[in-house]
Chain A
């Protein structure tokens, strides 16, 4: 439907590249708040940036099904089982919306997915950490989804129509994800000592990886400036990270857990919480494929994909059989 013309524009009489004029007009329009739609002309860099960012986002959703999905079978009550199942299902749905939006840029889902399975595509570093206890399900809801929502809300205003629309739908559906996490933890914090320990242990493991979720500091972020000019990303990594910490610290106090950062304290002058130095070495190791679960995650998805080959072949063959029957029968 949305095939993108990749032909280069013709040169004008004065020898100037017509694309350059179009690019200036494009950036002007985006700055003025115009929404870009699939068939509109767009700079190749814009298209590529979108494909990269949107498919990474989609991959994160489908990979994100695994760590929590691992606890569906062990959920401690039927209510929690239903909530978790619905949540993990939502993540699959969100992956699907995002792949669908990315496909409007003229790439196929299968190709994007192959990149993921062959380790050529990235996804959120957070899902390469293991879920080791039931409290992790709550902490993922509270911290990880809390961070994700913070990242995602500005994207509902992004300049590319299909991405923005997918994000509106996703943000609406995700609104229960963080709340269920906090509620779950709060329940456990009112339980036995063992349960409280379980929650604290989980917070200790997930805090720093969550803080890293917003990506490298602005000074080290390669794509930040372009993404801003093009209206793809309107708030910077550091701004988002600071917002996240500002809203989360008081929540931790209510919950009664300690955040494992001794440098967290209110800074009256800045009007923000100060926090400690992120271990960026760890971040880059995880991003480069050396996190505790990178290999397991990809392997689980690769195995499922390969075991599904005969199924996908069969349904295409069946659709063809039916067509033949329609025509002749």
Chain B
């Protein structure tokens, strides 16, 4: 059992919430909420984010566990793929009359 000695209240952790709106679709980020642990986060997510039948499955992740890419590395991370146009089907010319390809 814990004791009550803390003077300053500890902030209840933040969780990111992801909802699958229907089977066949991926989970989508919908926002965040506070909860003491993952189990409570699932319950809170159910009450906060699916009040109107918005989902069939919930993921919660402690916000502190997410590592995000740095926007200043945008060019390095995402720039190089821009000129690889041969990755897209429209890059290739096929003779008239070719079907099913």
Contact = CB atoms under 8 A, between A and B. Distances in A.
Contacts of B9: 110, 309, 312-313
A192 interface: no
Given A39-B71, A41-B71, A103-B14, A320 B32 contact: no
B30 to A, nearest CB: 8
A313 B10 contact: yes
Given A1-B64, A40-B71, A110 B11 contact: yes
Interface stretch (A92-100, A177-185, A229-237, A272-280): A92-100
Contact of A100 (B4, B32, B70): B32
B68 A2 contact: yes
B1 A321 contact: yes
Given A39-B70, A312-B9, A315-B12, A320 B34 contact: no
A322 B37 CA distance: 9
Contacts of A315: 12, 36-37, 40
Interface in A1-29: 1-2
A93 B16 CA distance: 15
Contacts of A110: 9, 11
Interface in B52-101: 52, 63-64, 66, 68-72
Interface string A301-329: 00000000110111111111110000000
Interface in A77-116: 89-90, 93, 96-97, 100-101, 103, 108-110
A166 B51 CA distance: 15
Given A100-B32, A166-B31, A322-B37, A316 B68 contact: no
A93 to B, nearest CB: 6
Contacts of A322: 37
B6 interface: yes
Contact of A319 (B33, B36, B69): B36
A173 interface: yes
B24 interface: no
Contacts of B66: 1
Interface in A34-78: 37, 39-41
Interface string A280-310: 0000000000000000000000000000011
B65 to A, nearest CB: 8
Nearest to B74: A40
A147 to B, nearest CB: 24
Nearest to B63: A1
B52 to A, nearest CB: 7
A109 B51 CA distance: 22
A312 B13 CA distance: 11
B68 A93 contact: no
Contacts of B16: 1
Interface string B24-55: 00000011111011001000000010011000
Interface of A: 1-2, 37, 39-41, 89-90, 93, 96-97, 100-101, 103, 108-110, 166, 169, 173, 309-310, 312-322
20 contacts: A1-B14, A1-B16, A1-B64, A2-B68, A41-B72, A96-B33, A96-B48, A103-B14, A109-B34, A313-B9, A313-B10, A314-B2, A315-B37, A316-B12, A316-B36, A318-B36, A318-B37, A319-B37, A321-B2, A322-B37
In the complex, the 6 A-B pairs of residues with the closest C-beta atoms, listed nearest first: A317-B2, A315-B36, A1-B63, A319-B37, A319-B36, A100-B32
